[in-house]
Amino acid sequence: MSEQERVRASFDRQGLMAHLGARLGHVGPGVVHILLPARPEVTQQHGYFHAGATSAIADSAGGYAAYTLFPEGTSVLTVEFKINLLAPAVGEHLEAVGTVLKPGRTLTVCRLDVFAVQGEQRTLVAAGQQTLIQVAARPER
């Protein structure tokens, strides 16, 4: 199974991403994009995307970016992440981009960037960093 097929199959089993209405965009070696359309269910009281939704798609984008570089028969878990919210997140959708900064046999470090997209305009609304661990494959639902 290709890295892209593994990522897409795993993503399709994520209840939170389905609940939020998120979908996979680009999937490549060490880079994954996740898109989150604007809808009232993912906003906070001022109509901006909620920080929890923003953080969730960032975490998953980084996790899957790392997973693209892991060998078959392994899985990925987040060890820690930090995210800075840089601007109110408002737009047609959010695009989270997870990029591997340093792959490792056990720990992998990723950069997390989240953009609010309105038409052709992309605004960086969150940035962070994440550490992930490669573990033996675990059953997925």
Tens of pLDDT, residue by residue over 15-73, are 999 999 999 999 999 999 999 999 999 999 999 999 999 999 999 999 999 999 999 99
CATH number at residue 34: 3.10.129.10
Q: Which domain holds residue 25?
A: 3-136
Please spell the DSSP secondary structure of 59-100, one letter per residue: HHHHHHHHHTTSPTTEEEEEEEEEEEE-S---SSEEEEEEEE
On whether residue 141 sits in a domain, the answer given is no
Q: What are phi and psi for residue 101, nearest 5 degrees?
A: -95, -40
On whether residue 29 sits in a domain, the answer given is yes
The number of residues in the chain equals 141
Supply the pTM of this predicted model: 0.95
On whether residue 38 sits in a domain, the answer given is yes
Q: How many Cα atoms within 13 Å fall on the side-chain side of residue 16?
A: 10
Rounded CA separation 91/63 (Å) = 24
